Amino acid sequence: MKRGDPTFAGAGSAWLARGQKKPQGHTHQQGPQQRDWLRGNFDPRFSLALARKDLGLAQELARATDTPMRLGVLCEQEMVEAIGRGWAGRDASIFLMLQEDRAKVQARLPPD
């Protein structure tokens, strides 16, 4: 096993998908759209541009109420970088590919 292999950290893409299917502590059902990013499907259901706008509004509210949102700031930075790559019209989950690019790893499931 070497860096760049999706199982490098001990977890393959099939294991990741199982975690997406039934996360611990959640009672709501998740459909296949939550795993689309593992299949490389970034057809827009909710665009990155709209997600970034909504997160920006949440960040403004957090600032106005002195509420720390450290992870929100990080996500917003990632979204801005993804938009800079021309991905604004794609599904909001596409910004997850930034970390894949940085790690030089691609975790994908086979098509259904």
Q: How does pLDDT run along the chain (112 residues), one tens digit per residue? A: 445 555 545 555 555 555 555 545 544 444 555 567 778 788 888 999 999 999 999 999 999 999 999 999 999 999 999 999 999 999 998 998 999 899 998 888 876 6
For residue 110, being part of any structural domain is answered with no
CA distances from residue 99 to 4, 22, 26, 66, 79 in whole angstroms, order as listed: 12, 23, 25, 29, 12
> How many folded domains does the chain comprise?
1
For residue 109, being part of any structural domain is answered with no
Q: Which two tokens stand for residue 29?
A: 């059902």
For residue 3, being part of any structural domain is answered with no
For residue 112, being part of any structural domain is answered with no
Q: Distance (Å, rounded) from C-alpha 1 to C-alpha 11?
A: 12
For residue 67, being part of any structural domain is answered with yes
Q: Which two tokens stand for residue 23?
A: 């996360």
